[in-house]
Amino acid sequence: MMGIPVTEDLYSVFTKEKEHEALQRDSQRSQQEQVSLLLQNYMRLLLPEEEKFHGGWALLDCDPSLIDATHKDVDVLLLLSNCAYYVAYYDDEADKVNQYQRLSLENLEKIEIGPEPTFFGKPKFSCMRLHYKHQETSGYFHTLRAVPHSPEEDGKGMYFTLVYFVKGNHAAVLSHSRRG
C-alpha cells in the first residue's frame, strides 16, 4: 500500500498538540496546589485548635437563588473537622473568604446527591445537598457541586468520598454526645 509521507507540517501540528496538553496538565497541577494551600490556610484560620481537620474541598454553590445577573459561580470552601463542617464563601477577586458558617455535625440531617437544580434544560452537573437544622428547625440546606477537572468528571466520586468522611465523623459525634 502506497501512502502519503508525513510532512513536517503534520509533525509540527502533532508536536504542538502534545506541548499544549503538557501545558494544560501543568496549569491544572498548579491550580490544584493553589487550592490545597488555600484550604490549609483557611483550615488554620477557621478551625479552633481543639477540632481535628479531616478534609477540605473547593466547590461551587449551585443554589439558583444565589446566581446573580452575571451568572458568576459562587466559590465555596468546604472544611470538615471531627465535630463540624464549615461552608466558607470565597471571593476570587478579593482573594479572601467574605462569609462562613460553622455547622455542627449533630445538626446534619442528611446528604443528597443528584442533578444540579436548573430552571431550563437538562442539568449538566451532579450536586450534593447538605440538609441541616438551625436552632432545632429543619429545612435548611447548602447545594454544592464539584469543580470538574475534565469533561468526563461529574463530581460523584468526590461526593461519595466526602459522604464517607462526614458519615464517620457524624457517627462519632452522635455516640460521643449520647455518652456525655
pLDDT tens, residue by residue, 13-58: 667 777 767 777 766 676 778 888 888 888 899 999 999 998 888 8
pTM of the model: 0.73
Contact status, residue 78 vs residue 108, Cβ threshold 8 Å: no
Q: Which residue has the higher pLDDT, 2 or 109?
A: 109
Contacting residues for 131 by C-beta, under 8 A, at least 6 apart: 108, 109, 110, 111, 112, 138, 140, 141
- Predicted confidence band of residue 103 (pLDDT cuts 50, 70, 90): very high
For residue 33, the model assigns a pLDDT of 83
69 has a pLDDT exceeding 50: no
DSSP the chain: ---PPPPHHHHHHHHHHHHHHHHHHHHHHHHHHHHHHHHHHHHHHHS-TTSPEEEEEEEEE--GGG--TT---EEEEEEEESSEEEEEEEETTTTEEEEEEEEEGGGEEEEEEEEPP-SSS---SEEEEEEEEETTEEEEEEEEEE--SSTT--SHHHHHHHHHHHHHHHHHHHHHHHH-
Read off the pLDDT of each residue in 106-112 and give the average, rounded to a whole number.
Answer: 90
